[in-house]
Amino acid sequence: MPSSVSGRTVTLTTAGTSLANVGGAAMTSTSLGMFLITQTSQDTFSVLTAICTHEACTINGFANSRFLCPCHGSQYSTNGAVLVGPATRSLSQFASTFSNGTLTFTA
């Protein structure tokens, strides 16, 4: 998903993307790292690091409201909590704001 970076602030437009509806999820790759994003309610989003806390694999799957790590099967909730190991630590979460179809967060 395309995004822009200014300093440590990431901005992206949700219209016309998988993030346009509640329950939608996407990944964005920036110069600051890779991030997992889900729309959890009408104007609320969850932004997480896309790096698994088990062995630093890139999480690239999303099914049944869970992020899936392809390396060893760890699964995380949309707020980053570990649901299935071997990971034992939650994903880092970043505060975000949403206004006029634009999501902004600081990494």
Domain boundaries, the chain: 4-106
In this prediction, residue 2 has a pLDDT band, given cuts at 50, 70 and 90, of confident
Which architecture, in CATH terms, is 4-106? 3-layer Sandwich (2.102)
pLDDT digits (tens, 9 = 90+) for 73-89: 999 999 999 999 999 99
- Rounded CA gap, 22 and 56, in Å? 28
pLDDT digits (tens, 9 = 90+) for 28-70: 999 999 999 999 998 899 999 999 999 999 999 999 999 999 9
Beta bridge partners, 98, equal: 103
CB 58 within 8 A of CB 48: no
pTM beyond 0.85: the answer is: yes
Residue 105 has pLDDT above 90, yes or no: yes
* pLDDT of amino acid 5: 95
Residue 1 has pLDDT above 90, yes or no: no
What is the C-alpha radius of gyration for the chain, rounded to an integer number of angstroms?
13
Q: What is the token pair recorded at 45?
A: 């989003």
* pLDDT of amino acid 46: 97
* pLDDT of amino acid 73: 94
Count of H helices and E strands in the chain? 0, 12
